[in-house]
């Protein structure tokens, strides 16, 4: 998030009104709901995890044990089981 001087972007009348409430303070203005992106969509984390989970499901279906998957992906047994047994595994896996 970058700093923007209100004097550069707001009309003088609006700037004066904001100064009545906050003068010399920092003010965060959130994005419109329509401009928000979902978690991990902007930097690719969501896609990366989806691909990793598909790889885990495919490896398990090919005979790799849960304990082997734990070592390869550095995840707990509970995490591997959640990935393997999630209802989305059928839609995300490619066999």
pLDDT at 73: 96
Note the pLDDT of residue 68.
97
Tokens of 52: 């990793």
How many domains does the chain fold into? 2
Q: Looking at residue 35, what is its pLDDT?
A: 67
Query: Does the predicted TM-score (pTM) go above 0.95?
Result: no
The residue assigned the tokens 């090919």 is 62
* Nearest 10 degrees: Cα torsion 50, 53, 57, 58: 70
- The residue range of the domain holding 31 is 6-35
Residue length, the chain? 95
77 and 52 in a common domain: yes
The answer to whether residue 1 is domain-embedded is no
60 within 8 A of 66, measured Cβ to Cβ:
yes
């Amino acid at each position: 998030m970058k700093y923007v001087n209100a004097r550069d972007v707001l009309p003088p009348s609006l700037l004066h009104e904001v100064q009545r409430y906050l003068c010399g303070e920092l003010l965060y203005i959130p994005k419109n709901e329509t401009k928000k992106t979902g978690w991990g969509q902007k930097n690719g984390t969501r896609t990366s995890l989806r691909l990793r989970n598909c790889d885990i499901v495919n490896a398990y279906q090919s005979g790799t044990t849960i304990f082997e998957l734990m070592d390869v992906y550095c995840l707990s047994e509970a995490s591997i089981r959640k990935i393997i047994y999630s209802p989305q595994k059928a839609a995300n896996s490619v066999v």
